[in-house]
Each structure stands twice: as C-alpha cells, then as structure tokens.
Amino acid sequence: MKGSQVTIKDIAKQLGVSASTVSRALKDHPDISPETKKAVTELAEELNYQPNSIALSLRQKKSNTIGVIIPELVHFFFSTVINGIEDVAYAAGYSVIVSQSNESYEREVMDTKALFNNRVDGILVSVSRETENYDHFQSLVNRGIPMVFYDRICKAINCSQVIIDDFDAGYQSTKHLIDQGYKRIAHISGPSSLILSKERMDGYKKALTDHGLKIDETLILEEKEAKDEKVAKELTEQLLSLSLPPDAIFANNDIAAVGAMLVIKEKGLKIPEDIGVVGFSNWRFTSLTEPALTTVDQPGFKMGQEAAKLLIKEIEAKEGEIVEPETVVLKTDLIIRKSSVRK
C-alpha cells in the first residue's frame, strides 16, 4: 500500500475542477458535460488512476469482500469449491478471503470473528468436523451478516445452504454394489457429528432394505477421528477379520477407500472379484491410479458457484427486503470403470 497513489484530488487539481466533478465524471454521471468527462477520463487514464477501494468501503459501508470458512484447502473437493466461489465472486466484483479451520472448532470460532472484524459482506461456511456448538455462527446471523452453508451444513441455523444429496449418493453407491451381486456390504462411515455422514449411512441402509438385504450393525464402523490412513486400514482389518466378513465395502471418503484397498491387496484378495469397493473421492486422482475403485464424484465447482450466488443475492438484497433461505441440492456422479465392475 506504499507508493502514494493517484487520487481524485490530484486529478481535480490538475484540471482545475472540484473533486466531486471528477468523481461524477468518472462514473459517467449525466450532469457532467462531455468535455469535462473527456478531460477527466483521459487524465485518469494517463495517471493510471485507481479508485481506493478502502475509502469506498468506508464510505459505502460495504467491503465487496466475502469470507470463506473451509475445513481444509488440501482436499481436492474443497479446493475445487474455492474455484467455483472465485468464479462467481470475481465476476460480481467481490474479493474472496479464505480461512481454513483445519477441522478445529477453536480455529473456526477465531476465523469467524476475524472475518467479521475484516468487515466482510457475507460468509460462506463449511463446518469443521469437531464443531458441535454453533453460537459463533448464530451471533453473526443475528447481527444480520448474510451467511450461506455449503456441504457441511448446520441444521440449527436458518440460512441458505448448498448440499450434496448424500442420501442419494449413499443409496446409489450401495445399489451399485448390490447390482453386482455383493451380499454383505460393509460401511466405513464418517464422524456422526457431520450430517452428511448420517445421510450417506441412511442411503446405504435404505438401499440394503429396498433390495431385501439385512442391516448388520457389525458391518458398520465409524471413523471417529480425523481421516487417517492408519485408522482406515485398522477399520478394514477389523471388518475382514469378522467371523462373517463383508464381500464389499462402501467407504465414506477417499482415504478410507484407499486404506481399504491396500489392506485388501495385502490379504491377497482381489478387487472387484473377491470384494467390491466404492468410495467417495475428495481426491483428484483416485480413479487414475486406482481403476478398480468405483468413486463417487462430488460437484465441488458447482457447489462453490451456487453458494456464492446465494450469498451475493442476499448481500445485494435491498435493505429491509427479506430473503427466504434456500436450499440447493446437488447430485453426485458415480464414476464407474470397466475394471471396477464385477461381471
């Protein structure tokens, strides 16, 4: 912010007019004479005048910035979401500030406050794995800050949200395994604190019962802590050493899927012949290196776009106008390769 910038005053002085004239000329106000307009715009061009967005923010009480709280940037899915957000935000003239909670409740609370202090016009949130208390969000909503939840939503707060149809994803994944003739389908689920974990599991259960299979609770294991290669492998070990082991696994995430796959290989079993695996892939190249896995593809870019659109709509609603919270539901795709299907 160094290197003293050209201001409206500088232009005004050089042209011997007032600052307001320059201001008006620059925004093509109808009152200003064509000559003045021309002189102003030309000099502005010449001096490479750039409006000071901070002064504008102060004046208009609007920062033209949106804040994003994201669990972790390193996941393909989430970084893709950011791309979608930027796509829409930039086009609408907003800057984007991204804060990572790193799946920590404490960090999330700090980030929320920091964004608020930075006077963002609105916030996009995907809650951390740890979060079970939502006061930090509610208090901002109460103050009238527009907020939209994406992916990891928060039912307790009445805001717009963009979600993936996780029930359907769970259902389709499980059905895909059933269709190939697998009978004992296990599920490695995500932490029960996340709504989407429950949705996926419900989809899984519904698919089983719809197709005349029983729900066997011994085949459902929860990955409680953070996603971790070791944990995923242990859970798979546990499943495979059951007296009645599963013949297929529906994994809640990429690591769980890959962990399962590694353990299965170690045991000398083959995918998909001996055991079928379907997993969510937050991770870019799962299907590139692991053609035997069927993966659930999540529409991250689209999700980012939709969330940003909703937020900007709320931000730009006229004062007093009430915006009814909306819910956008996006479908996943099942990426099936020949080599991931059992005949």
CB of 3 to DNA, least distance (A): 11
CB of 261 to a copy of itself, least distance (A): 8
CB of 23 to DNA, least distance (A): 3
Listed residue (83, 69, 86) closest to 152, CA to CA: 69
Binding flags for DNA, 16-45, as an x/- string (CB under 7 A): xxxxxx-xx-xx--xxxx-xx---------
Helix (H) or strand (E) holding 85: helix 76-91
Burial (CB < 10 A; 0-12, 13-18, 19+), residue 95, is middle
Q: Give the one entry of DNA, a copy of itself, none that residue 21 binds, where binding means its C-beta sits below a cut-off of 5 to 8 angstroms depending on kind.
A: DNA
118 binds DNA (CB under 7 A): no
CB of 99 to a copy of itself, least distance (A): 8
Q: Give the one entry of DNA, a copy of itself, none that residue 24 binds, where binding means its C-beta sits below a cut-off of 5 to 8 angstroms depending on kind.
A: DNA
Q: Give the one entry of a copy of itself, DNA, none that residue 206 binds, where binding means its C-beta sits below a cut-off of 5 to 8 angstroms depending on kind.
A: none
Q: Give the one entry of DNA, a copy of itself, none that residue 32 binds, where binding means its C-beta sits below a cut-off of 5 to 8 angstroms depending on kind.
A: DNA
- Binding test (CB under 7 A) with DNA, winner from 14, 41, 52, 64: 52
Residue 222 carries which side chain, given as an amino acid letter?
A: E
Burial (CB < 10 A; 0-12, 13-18, 19+), residue 319, is exposed
CB of 321 to DNA, least distance (A): 19
5 binds DNA (CB under 7 A): yes
What's the start-to-end Cα distance of the chain, in Å? 64
User: Which one, 17 or 215, has the nearer CB to DNA?
Assistant: 17
User: Which one, 111 or 247, has the nearer CB to a copy of itself?
Assistant: 111
Joined tokens for residue 261: 């796959």
Is there a contact between 171 and 149 (Cβ–Cβ < 8 Å)? no
Strands ordered across the beta sheet of 185-189: 220-222, 185-189, 248-251, 276-280, 294-297, 333-335
Q: Give the one entry of a copy of itself, DNA, none that residue 242 binds, where binding means its C-beta sits below a cut-off of 5 to 8 angstroms depending on kind.
A: none
Q: Which residues contact 91 (CB under 8 A, 6 or more apart)?
A: none
